[in-house]
């Protein structure tokens, strides 16, 4: 039974989480399930109207409807897919890309390292939101472009963290001896470096996904997302565009629920990120 120890170690990991971390994990799991089973979870379509406009939450429409009469629960459930996809898509792309660049920079050193470090310096001083807005406007509104643009601004942190870790690792004697036996760079990266930095990358992924989800919501809110998608940011965008929504009762469902969903997801990711960091780096635990 190869399977059992893995489950056991997963349970052990879970036990190391704080209470808030455990709650957060459960919340993420729930949101993930909602995203996966979105079409089965709501009896109403999320793209077209299924009732009269702006009905408050009732038995028919659990979370009410928006100004077009589209069921909000259906939109939020389907929007979870977009948020998670953007969040984890961006984070994976950025963490892997950044991680590999970091490894190369540290291991190869020399000119490559210098160029990459200067590039990172440039990216760090660049104000990301204005440039993201510019790029999103330039590439045109689509989900894929948003993931791309967000990744473009997210790889710096993982690259720096990984680089410093590798700089330390490559002086270790076991790496030195592997090198002397003729191990190729590729072999070293796959066999030694990636496994060593993977916990760090995991923390980065969690951190970055939280950021990316907020950024997607922000870009959608500014009208730079796919205008007809039903992402959480876009629901909020439409709600806030409704003239004087604060003076009507509509915000109590149209604005509140997508905002709540977004907040729960972000806060959960933050808690998990914090706990992971503590587990990965024992010095922080004390």
Binding string to other proteins for residues 236 to 275, with x set by CB under 8 A, is what?
Answer: --x--xxxx-xxx-xx---xx--x---x---x--------
Q: Is 134 in the site for other proteins (CB under 8 A)?
A: no
Q: Is 164 in the site for other proteins (CB under 8 A)?
A: no
Name the residue nearer to other proteins (CB basis): 164 or 248. Answer: 248
Least separation in angstroms between CB 263 and other proteins: 7
Least separation in angstroms between CB 183 and other proteins: 47
Which region among 46-54, 95-103, 181-189, 206-214 touches other proteins (by CB under 8 A)? 46-54
Where b means 16+ CB within 10 Å and e means fewer, 10-46 reads eeeeeeebeeebbebbebbeebeebbeebeebbebeb
Least separation in angstroms between CB 249 and other proteins: 9
Which residues, in sequence order, are CB contacts of 58 under 8 Å at separation 6+? 64
Q: Is 138 in the site for other proteins (CB under 8 A)?
A: no
Q: Is 142 in the site for other proteins (CB under 8 A)?
A: no
Of 69, 97, 199, 218, the one binding other proteins (CB under 8 A) is 69
Of 6, 7, 33, 48, the one binding other proteins (CB under 8 A) is 48
Least separation in angstroms between CB 91 and other proteins: 23
Of 19, 40, 111, 125, the one binding other proteins (CB under 8 A) is 19
Name the residue nearer to other proteins (CB basis): 69 or 218. Answer: 69
Of 30, 53, 115, 190, the one binding other proteins (CB under 8 A) is 53
Q: Is 131 in the site for other proteins (CB under 8 A)?
A: no
For other proteins, the binding residues (CB under 8 A) are 19-20, 48-49, 53, 67-69, 141, 223, 227-228, 238, 241-244, 246-248, 250-251, 255-256, 259, 263, 267
């Amino acid at each position: 039974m190869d399977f059992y120890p893995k489950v056991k170690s997963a349970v052990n990991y879970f036990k190391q989480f704080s209470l808030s971390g455990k709650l957060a994990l459960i919340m993420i799991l729930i949101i993930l399930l909602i995203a996966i089973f979105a079409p089965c979870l709501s009896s109403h379509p999320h793209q077209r109207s299924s009732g009269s406009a702006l009905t408050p939450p009732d038995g028919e429409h659990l979370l009410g409807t928006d100004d077009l009469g589209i069921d909000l629960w259906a939109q939020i459930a389907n929007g979870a897919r977009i948020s998670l996809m953007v969040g984890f898509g961006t984070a994976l792309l950025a963490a892997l890309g950044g991680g590999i660049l970091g490894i190369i920079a540290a291991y190869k050193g020399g000119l490559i390292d210098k160029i990459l470090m200067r590039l990172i310096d440039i990216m760090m001083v660049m104000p990301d939101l204005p440039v993201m807005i510019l790029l999103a406007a330039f590439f045109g509104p689509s989900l894929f472009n948003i993931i791309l643009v967000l990744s473009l601004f997210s790889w710096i942190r993982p690259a720096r963290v990984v680089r410093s870790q590798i700089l330390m690792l490559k002086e270790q004697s076991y790496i030195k001896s592997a090198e002397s036996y003729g191990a190729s760079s590729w072999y070293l990266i796959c066999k030694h470096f990636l496994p060593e930095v993977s916990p760090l990358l995991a923390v980065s992924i969690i951190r970055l996904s939280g950021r990316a989800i907020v950024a997607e919501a922000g870009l959608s809110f500014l009208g730079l997302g796919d205008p007809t998608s039903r992402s959480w940011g876009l629901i909020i965008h439409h709600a806030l565009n409704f003239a004087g929504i604060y003076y009507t009762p509509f915000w109590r469902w149209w604005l509140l629920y997508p905002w709540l969903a977004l907040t729960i997801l972000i806060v959960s990711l933050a808690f998990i990120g914090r706990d992971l960091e503590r587990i990965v780096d024992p010095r922080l635990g004390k």
